[in-house]
Chain A
């Protein structure tokens, strides 16, 4: 192997990066995989040889520069190496979600025009074989795990083991080795490096083409941002085809030279996490939430002494933990108290969760509850938020150590240009931004502004401290008559934060002010009614009660106060509200099956109430014949009193901004 320094190449492709690692940190662990109960480790030097063998193998099968090769399966070293090997010879890997059904895979393969598939196991091979008739472009299926495939006699099947063995023998010939070295040198940073398909929640999924130099540039920035080095380690348990895995694990691992550990199976990931003890970790909010739930349930079964200790020290952590993590000044006694908690509770708990060695942890994808976020941070876990997109090759914003909030996603990541368009949409230019959607120039053009910024489709604004706050999907965000931004979901979420409020529907697009229609939460308001001697016979009666309205009014007022502190939102305070006489219900089509309010549907059905909110009436009645979705007809009757609040003046802080 030649020294990369001697060759004098810029490291603008992953193959070149890998060659550097094989030289500079030859003996450092690069990949681990638990197989048959034992962790096996490959050094960078070994991985480089494996990838070279794969690259040679793919090439002998006919894979050429620019060809697409699909990679389907779980997080296995050899699948990551297949990705690297394809990149080495200039082909474009297309990772596929392991749990995709055959039709979804067929759609992606057809669109990508893939000529080969690397399949992890029999399951993936079966899926591939079932759709091959529709895919004339696919010439080979290369399988990693031979189990169950002994009887298969399709001529297109190739064993990865055999392919690599042959290729290794060939590479012993210096001429073949030289050929491969030349191929690596010929790789250009501007060449497509990988194609990642979007999840397709908003329409058919699109193939996002990313170039090597941009991938590497983005990863370099974030590796420096979080001080990742070749001493770090991550567990690769996120789907191979998701931008998060390809970025956080594969690309950052390649740039920093850190070690990627692959779990034994998806079911063992939690245990493998504990055994590996990663230093860099990512998990979506729901994973953190389910972990916390599990801890709490198990603590309920613990002995009274342990339970008491646990809750006591959780209290200490809540009070001081975040400030200690943020390196703020904390009294000495509190520090000692926290240290005792670390010894007795926090450290053992983090160990049980596999977080003992975590230096940097991220969460993203959806809003994380502030309590949930604070719980992990107060234990001393450096949990941060980022905001990203496949089109950006992940990072758009990221929180820096010590400047972390639960309700924002951080300032722009290094070298990212971020702006808020006139309509409130977040737009960015980033080092890792995509080259385009594969074979869809019209879609690419749609996603970009005239001056080359990517439209995220999300609406947001900057907080005074420079952190970005995402409020809603841009298409749901409207404007009040005076031009003030109106983000209904943002206001609704603030209201629903109160346990007494079950649902909220914010109205205001094109109107003079914001008003809301509310559902009370029967369990908590009912308990309140019991304590306060308010008697009621039904939801409707409780909802119409004067004292309940006063209770709710205080909550709405609190929301207004919090809105007044936000420069972008201060003008969207709630002026009038009413409590709906009926609970919104998915059976009546008022909510989706995932319990999201169907705003326009509700606005139509409750039109007389909406009218009352805006014509100054003190009360509005509704009496309408309604047709339920199953065809039954019913009569909706009731009336609601309408309450008016005085808005808060825009605070000093928000005026200044």
Chain B
């Protein structure tokens, strides 16, 4: 007859086994002279279209540095976790990175949701954190560096350009989460400043694929152009249904999120020709530095690599900025590296000059307006060295170096 003693032993044994396995810190005994860098991104689940190029770019950056002799003479060990588009795993892997791997820096998170899960964990366990893609701005945290663009850099340039080119009335369709909400507010603001008018804003959760009703509503409203802040694989259906309803080419679209997930490759040219985007990086940027980078990247990953996205370049730049900080500090100690990064690190990246602004820990970078044409992004206009003005309005890490929260920029 079974007794609860056996069950207890069974439970205890399995729990102990599980914890012993997770306790096994093999890394603790690993080669002491490797510098660890941890990446936590989504390689499966709904957000993997963004995650994979980012991880590829980080691995490429680590290998590049290693081939040139490493950082401070030590090789870089790039460890990465697949968070599978799951917030619980983001939290667990952030804890695992900070407490077990103890890396010199963690690069993690695509969406703001994942960033805000990871950031408090890394703050608490004192691990340096780089967040490398475009977002809504406003995070003010001494332990955090943002290598991506924010709306004051891209939206501010594209809205007046679109109004000048197409007309004053804009209809906004956006992803329904805080990034989409905030970008829509910025578009409304800049449209008003340029003499334009926002007819309506519609929000769509990330898994919506049915845009038929919306397309009819847009036609009823008669805007001059549509602003899209749609994000993710499911939202690509908007462009498909747009073309199916014969609207492609009839009503122009502007977006700062399009192309971040290879939309211009996945969709057919008829579905997206003519869309104007504004990003920090385009694979097609002229200039020797970029051509060289693309050639090396293709050598590593194959010439049929779909596209080097802006998020991938953001990750590469973030990595290079951190490496430069380490060189300046001559150490991987977190406090020393932060001080070095705050001393004004500037690098020559394939996208142009990228420099860390010490007051906000965000980056000053070039932005480019481009037109989507036949699966390529053709450069239209460049704006060099845009400062992170939106975050600067709410964040001053010189005055409050211990600040650690995200502010909503009010205007």
- Do A and B originate from a single complex? no
- Taking beta carbons and an 8 Å cutoff, which residues of B are in contact with A? none
- Taking beta carbons and an 8 Å cutoff, which residues of A are in contact with B? none
